[in-house]
Homo-oligomer: A and B are copies of this chain.
Amino acid sequence: MSQAELYTGADALMHTLEAAGVEMCFANPGTSEMQLVTALDRTPGVRPVLALFEGVVTGAADGYGRMAGKPAATLLHLGPGVGNGMANLHNARRARSPIVNLVGDHATDHLKLDAPLTSDIAALAGTVSGWVRTAQTADQAVTLAAEAVAAAHQGQSATLILPADTMWADSPGVGQPVATPQPKPVASATIEAVAKAIKGAKAPMILLNGHSTQDDGLAAAARLNAVGVRVMCDGFVGRLSRGAGRFAPDRMKYFSEQAVEDLAGTDLLVLCETVPPVSFFAYPGKPSVLTPEGAEVMTLADVGAGGPQALADLAEALGAPKSVDIPRQDLSGPGPKWNAATVGQVLAQHLPEGAVISDDAVTAGMPCYMTTQHAAPHEWLMLTGGAIGQGLPVALGAALACPDRKVVALTGDGAGMYMPQTLWSMAREQADVLTIVFANHAYRILNIELGRTGAGEPGPAAEALLQIDNPRMDWLKIAEGFGLEASRAHDAASLDAHIQSAMAQKGPRLIEVALE
């Protein structure tokens, strides 16, 4: 489109994003975003995807960012829109996902009147976005839009607040692209120092996160492992490449006393795109800091700073083998017990190569994780920020980023009920997502945490806050109500049939796994 055909600030803004490589816009727009909505008609390179709730919008943008490695835009309606999207932006922050949030605000002159929808959007967004700016003019808006994309590429959500008048103003022309500052490669002196420390250590360990938990990083980490370095990843990482033929790092354990036991004896902790490990929650009388006392802690690569290359350089410095062959293992079929592990065992047998798992299933997720280790190569997207409810939205975004991959969402009936309307967007987009809901009719993790936090035995009032079995939700009806085909599995055989049939087709499906 020539400059002459750009009508409004919104047109210029959308074209600026398009020029910067943004291809997708997850949206739940309102009145203050109307110019941005019609600008999408004139920006065919940016695909609009509608969601019925802003949490779906931001969660989908997170999943998209994790798989595409670049930001999608979101369209959010003033402060309440950001608020509804907040929890998944929190998770995205912890996953360091690139996202560009576009928040329509009241027109500049209208803001001071404190109309009903007015609130402090910048303060709100500032709790989850490392980059928050407000445009005062259309001209500034396009400049900031280009900067927002660059900022997002640094591993964060960037929030651009757009007063309505900056978008209905005449087009100032497309904004100049802005280059993302690239982190400096890790200095050779650092590589040498870490290599020397590893040689001198009895039980060295390297802890991975960020880009280091994907293919290149893990291939290099496997070489380190071959020369005696223990390799772990954080308990929750944005994206872990795993499955047959891939090196599998140990995963930091969730409960602090187990993590402490697991790490005992480690005398050198090397951090690669991460920070010293801490427990998820604090518990009375239990440790929060997981680094063993007396262990030396060194940083190989800062967060966001070229971990895979640093790992490869370190492998060289340690004289590690050039590559490590990870033998494939036969898959064991499901055992006689019917539980969450069964689901992983059945899933492993049918998972196609390149599949993506979006997991916020909490208690059921871990057994599935354990039992899918030797499935075909796949990507595992984790609940990085602890805010349940991202499982379905992240799956939606991942599916739109990677239309040729099968996506599987693993969610609990508790977590899944946070944003069930995601199912509708899956149906609408015919996203290739198989949603598996573990129906245990409880906030199972809380039954476990109750004792651990010293809160004692639940009586009837507490018990009622931990059980969600009254009434039992019917996920089949809910899924069908949103336009999805759905079925229920009561045992390994029926689950096998349902998963097999789901894998044979493209498009959204839901399986309720009746656990109790």
Chain A residues within CB distance 8 Å of chain B: 7, 10, 27, 29-32, 34-35, 37-38, 40-42, 44, 48, 50, 52-53, 55, 78-84, 86-87, 89-91, 94, 106-107, 109-110, 113-117, 119-120, 123-124, 126-128, 164-165, 168, 236, 275, 278-282, 284, 288-289, 384-387, 389, 414, 417-418, 420-421, 424, 427-428, 445-446, 449-450, 453-462, 464-466, 468, 470-478, 480-483
Contact = CB atoms under 8 A, between A and B. Distances in A.
Contact of A465 (B37, B42, B109): B37
B455 A35 contact: yes
Contacts of A41: 458-462
A53 B115 CA distance: 27
Contacts of A44: 461
A446 to B, nearest CB: 7
A382 to B, nearest CB: 10
Nearest to A77: B387
5 contacts: A48-B465, A106-B281, A110-B278, A123-B126, A477-B478
Given A38-B455, A41-B462, 15 more contacts: A7-B456, A10-B455, A37-B446, A40-B461, A40-B462, A80-B87, A83-B89, A86-B86, A110-B282, A110-B288, A116-B280, A164-B453, A420-B420, A476-B481, A478-B478
A414 B288 contact: no
A115 B38 contact: no
Contact of A37 (B424, B466, B476, B478): B466
B116 A123 contact: no
Contacts of A126: 120, 123
A35 B453 contact: yes
B116 A470 contact: no
A127 B86 CA distance: 13
Contact of A464 (B50, B120, B164, B275): B50
B446 A29 contact: yes
A471 B385 contact: no
A501 B44 CA distance: 50
Given A40-B461, A414-B52, A474 B470 contact: no
Contact of A127 (B38, B55, B120, B385): B120
A450 B33 CA distance: 9
A419 to B, nearest CB: 8
A409 B504 CA distance: 42
Copies of this chain present: 2
Nearest to A110: B282
Contact of A32 (B55, B281, B414): B281
A389 B449 CA distance: 31
B284 A168 contact: yes
A278 B386 contact: no
A289 B113 contact: yes
Given A32-B281, A113-B289, A450 B86 contact: no
Given A34-B453, A50-B464, A453-B168, A428 B471 contact: yes
Given A117-B385, A280-B115, A34 B449 contact: yes
Nearest to A413: B52
Contacts of A123: 123, 126-127
Given A128-B119, A473-B481, A282 B83 contact: no
A37 to B, nearest CB: 5
Query: Which residue, of A38, A106, A164, A389, has the highest number of chain B Cβ atoms within 10 A?
Result: A38
A116 B384 contact: yes
A190 B339 CA distance: 72
A120 B123 CA distance: 10
Contacts of A385: 80, 116-117
Nearest to A235: B116
- Most chain B CB atoms below 10 A, which of A127, A275, A466: A127
A365 B471 CA distance: 30
A509 to B, nearest CB: 14
Contacts of A27: 465
B124 A127 contact: yes
A269 to B, nearest CB: 15
A109 B52 contact: no
Nearest to A32: B281
A127 B40 CA distance: 31
Contacts of A477: 477-478, 480-481
A418 B459 CA distance: 33
Given A417-B52, A478-B477, A483 B471 contact: yes
Contacts of A114: 275, 278
Contacts of A475: 481
A465 B87 contact: no
